[in-house]
């Protein structure tokens, strides 16, 4: 991981914002589940995820599908995530063939689990923090391009609006 | 039992690593007492060695404020990852 990624992961204002949104919990989030299922179906990818970037791990807040052992874990060590590259750039990106990208070719998910392509966009809170990501994975090479990233970014913005709305309703319900 | 999962090159989580990660969020001076409080409240002997016990302390940490909750949640993911990959959960 780069120093910038590490610093961003540990930023306490980012993590407190994430907690404000209730994203560190393991509650079922039907709205996120629906969003990733729709995304997986429309893009015909096996895996679509809404994730939360904690300090040393990435949580899967919703997943269209995951291998059983990953489902059991509910996340993964942050050093394995493709999404962490967005911590520095705050921009979505896509990789059509991860085996040909020096940043990711050595990743165990690529070497051992057969993940071959990736596209992701950041979930940026209303307070300006990257709290998570919306991403898709495939075990086949995909023809991802700038339009893919733009479409995913729009979806991510919509998902973030839903997360903020849900948190606002929880806070109002709690009288906060 | 090896403490690194071959292929994944993934080391078994340790108490020292967990306290260090907690310290990165709450400050080194606060991390040790917080960790100690969580372990003592469970009557878990220190140093905490097994991933099962680390997970229990992680769950306890999650009751101790926003940043401790995040550190605990992360630690839990890291411990379960190790158990899932190493098969130690079945041993």
Phi, psi of A11 (to 5 degrees): -60, 120
Torsion-angle region of residue A12: left (phi > 0), alpha (psi -120 to 50) or beta?
A: alpha
ipTM of this predicted complex? 0.92
Percent of chain B past pLDDT 70, that is, above it, reads: 93
DSSP B8: T
DSSP, collapsed to helix, strand or coil, labels residue A90 as coil
- Mention every residue, 6+ apart, whose C-beta is less than 8 A from residue A166: A22, A29, A31
Tens digits of pLDDT across chain A (176 residues): 899 999 999 999 999 999 999 999 888 899 899 999 999 999 999 999 999 999 999 999 999 999 888 998 999 999 999 999 999 999 999 999 999 999 999 999 999 999 999 999 999 999 999 999 999 999 999 999 999 999 999 999 999 999 999 998 887 877 65
CB contact under 8 A, B69 and A112: no
DSSP, collapsed to helix, strand or coil, labels residue B40 as helix
A24, A56, A72 ranked by CB distance to B84: nearest: A72
A21 CB within 8 Å of a chain B CB = no
| Nearest-5° Cα angle at A2, A136 to A102 | 55
How many Cα neighbours within 13 Å face the side chain of B74? 28
B21 CB within 8 Å of a chain A CB = yes
B66 CB within 8 Å of a chain A CB = yes
Cα torsion for A132, A2, B54, A62, to the nearest 10°? 20
Q: Are A135 and A121 in contact (CB under 8 A)?
A: yes
Chain A interface, best mutation among B11, B55, B66, by max A CB count within 10 A: B66
Residue-level pLDDT at A69: 85
Residue-level pLDDT at B89: 41
Smallest CA–CA distance from B26 into chain A, residue: A12
Distance between CA atoms of residues A155 and A45, nearest Å: 15
Q: What number of C-beta contacts closer than 8 Å exist between A and B?
A: 67
Residue-level pLDDT at A175: 62
Closest by alpha carbon to B84, among A72, A109, A136?
A72
Q: How far is A55 from chain B (nearest CA, A)?
A: 7
Smallest CA–CA distance from B5 into chain A, residue: A108
Kindly list the residues from chain A whose CB atom is less than 8 angstroms away from the CB atom of residue B24. Answer: 10, 55
Q: Are A12 and A93 in contact (CB under 8 A)?
A: no
- What pairs with residue B5 in β-bridges? B10
A71 CB within 8 Å of a chain B CB = no
DSSP, collapsed to helix, strand or coil, labels residue A86 as helix
Segments of A20-116 assigned E as strands? 47-53, 57-63, 75-77, 93-95
The predicted model scores a pTM of 0.93
Kindly list the residues from chain B whose CB atom is less than 8 angstroms away from the CB atom of residue A60. Answer: none
């Amino acid at each position: 991981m780069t120093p910038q990624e590490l610093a961003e992961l540990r930023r306490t204002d980012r993590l407190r914002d994430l907690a404000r949104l209730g994203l560190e919990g393991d509650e079922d989030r039907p709205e996120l589940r629906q969003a990733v299922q729709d995304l997986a179906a429309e893009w015909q990818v096996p895996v679509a995820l809404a994730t939360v970037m904690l300090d040393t791990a990435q949580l899967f807040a919703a997943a269209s599908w995951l291998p059983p052992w990953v489902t059991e874990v509910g996340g993964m060590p942050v050093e394995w995530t493709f999404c962490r590259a967005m911590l520095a750039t705050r921009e979505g990106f896509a990789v059509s063939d991860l085996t040909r990208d020096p940043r990711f070719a050595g990743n165990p998910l690529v070497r051992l689990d057969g993940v071959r392509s990736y596209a992701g966009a950041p979930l940026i809170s209303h307070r300006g923090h990257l709290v998570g990501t919306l991403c898709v994975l495939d075990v086949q090479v995909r023809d991802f391009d700038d339009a893919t990233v733009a479409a995913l970014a729009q979806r991510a913005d919509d998902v973030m609006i839903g997360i903020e709305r849900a948190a606002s309703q929880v806070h109002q319900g709690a009288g906060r | 039992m090896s403490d690194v999962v071959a292929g994944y090159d993934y080391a078994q989580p340790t108490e020292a690593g967990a306290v260090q990660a907690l310290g990165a969020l709450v400050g080194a001076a606060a991390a040790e007492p917080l960790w100690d409080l969580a372990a003592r409240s469970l009557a878990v002997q220190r140093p905490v060695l097994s991933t099962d016990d680390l997970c229990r302390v992680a769950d306890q940490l999650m009751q101790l404020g926003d940043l401790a909750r995040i550190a605990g949640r992360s630690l839990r993911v890291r411990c379960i990852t190790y158990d899932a990959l190493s098969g130690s959960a079945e041993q």
